[in-house]
Structure formats: C-alpha cells, structure tokens
Amino acid sequence: MSTPASPPRIGRLAAGPLDAITDVSGVTVGHVTRDEGDVQTGVTVIRPHAGDPYRDKVPAGLAVINGFGKSVGLVQLEELGQLETPIALTNTFSVPTLSQAQIRDCAAHNPETGRGQPALAAAGTDFAQGAVGAGRGMSSFQLKGGIGSASRRVPLRHGGSFTVGALVLANYGLLPNLLWGGQAVDAQLAKRIDDEAHAQAGATEKGSIIMVLATDAPLDARQLGRLALRAGVGLARTGSVYGHGSGDIALAFSTAYTLPHLPERPMPAVTLLHETQLDGLFQAAADSVEQAIVHALWHAQAVAGRNGHRRAALRDLLAPRR
C-alpha cells in the first residue's frame, strides 16, 4: 500500500483558497506551542476580527452535543448570543490560566472593565495545523490529534457565495471506530491500527473536541446555534459516538456585522438570511468540520511526552513498511 499524497477530500462544495477557517474574511488564528520534553502543550487563539471584540462583539451560537468538558464563558454566550473575546483553546488544566490572560488583555485595552497573550499577537490567516498550539498534547482515535481547519463555499442563487470555515481541537475517539473519508480503513492499515491499539488495550473514550465555525453569512444568534449543531454531523462521520467521557462542543459566529458594547452607539440594522437558505450552510458546516478533523490527523506528527507516553501519527501508519 502506498502512502497517499493528500488526505481525502470531503464533500462536493468548493473550499476557499486556504481551505481553513481564515478564508472567512477578518478571522485570524495564532498558536504558541511548548515542546519541552515532559511538557507538551500550548495555546491556540481565534480572533473573530482585527478590532477589539469587547467593544465590537460578534453574534454567536452554541451547541453542546455532549457536555463533558471544561470551559469559561459559554453560559454568557448562550444567554446573550454574543462573542466578546477571542476564542482561546488549551488543555483542561490550563483553562483557569488562560481565562486570567484573557481578562488581563481585555482590561489592558478597556480599562473600564475593571482591572498579552503571545498567541493572540501571533494570529494570522496562514497558520500551522496538527500537533501545534492547543493541539500539542492532544490525541485523536488514540493517534496524534490536534488542530485542524477547513472551509467550504456556499454558492448563492443569484451569484456570489458565503463561506463557512471550521477549526477543531481534536482530542477524542477510539481507533477501531475511525472512518477515514467515510470509509472503514483497509485490511493492511487495520492490522497496523490493531497493533497500535494493543498497546492501549482497555482504553475508553475520555477525550473531547471543540469545534469552531465562522461564517460571513448574516445570521443571528439563534441561526448560529442551528449552524453549530450541524458540526455534530461532521463529527459523527469520522466515527465518533459522543462517548460518555467526551466533551463535544461547537460554537459558531458570524463576521457579517458587529454589536456595539456602548449603549450610545446604534445597533446595526441587518437583513438576515432567510431560514430556507440555511441548508447550504448546514452542508458546509458538516463537510468543513469533517475535513478539519481529517486535517488534524493528517498534519499531526508523532509526539513523545511525560513518562515516555507516545502517540503515533496516522501518516506513519499509512506509510508502507520496509
């Protein structure tokens, strides 16, 4: 079996030029990665636009598919339908530290909130995928997982298009359940996977996946919640069963307009997309999430960490044995 030159292509919709969440205009992503022997971790930050999201918030929606996860701010997002900070991803134990960094950064730019994140400063449109940033210490299907991204364009009836971009932090799944481009793995790869799984006998589903969707389509918070829910379609296609110990959370936001923080500034008058036109966006959400998970597995390299723990890379298993 020869090593594939590229990962499987998901769906029929065209991708944006980067095939990443940053194909949605204004969205940027930055990483800080710690590769220091026993310390294998990092931070990934998604900026919804180049300005201050506290002053100019974006509409957002949430879908908690399986709530076994740790987060800060999702309750407020669900209540208000607004995103007012960059989205910062990291490992479970670093969530409090990252929250403090977000607060410090917000206060530095907006002293009225009461009194720098390097990943925030590093945010750009072209970014690495795989075992980088928040994905450094993550496993997916008992292989190396991490950060993956993709995008899809949705053509409009009268010309033009909308873009849906996805970024995932993949840390979930069991090897025997893996579907690669919608197909069960072939017999040769299955044998290699079985060999890898044997060393992890008795493993249970106890990871998580965070799925972030961005779009330039003019949607409100309710519609964005519906869009976020469709991320679960792409997740299921890869072989996830939303296991007991897995936290599966999706967030979607729109860059089509912003919502002012200060009450003296007028609220925008926005013509929203009609409900009957959402199906194309739903398709794009499902496809881009599945593609992003594929990219996370494809780009991840094998990593050895604390106490000799090691996660193999899928591409190493796909390579022919000599």
Query: Residue 240 CB: number of other CB atoms within 10 A?
Result: 27
Q: Cα–Cα distance between 257 and 79 in angstroms, integer? A: 19
Bridge partner list, 211: 168, 250
Query: Residue 301 CB: number of other CB atoms within 10 A?
Result: 14
Left if phi > 0, otherwise alpha if psi is -120 to 50, otherwise beta: which for 144?
Answer: beta
Question: Would you mind telling me the total number of residues written for the chain in this entry?
Answer: 322
Q: Cα–Cα distance between 164 and 141 in angstroms, integer? A: 26
Q: Cα–Cα distance between 152 and 150 in angstroms, integer? A: 7
Residues marked active site are found at 208, 246, 248
Q: Note whether 53 and 84 are within 8 A (CB).
A: yes
User: For the chain, how big is the Rg over CA atoms in Å?
Assistant: 19
Type of residue found at 71 = S
DSSP 8-state symbol, 22: G
Q: Note whether 149 and 138 are within 8 A (CB).
A: no
Q: Note whether 8 and 294 are within 8 A (CB).
A: yes
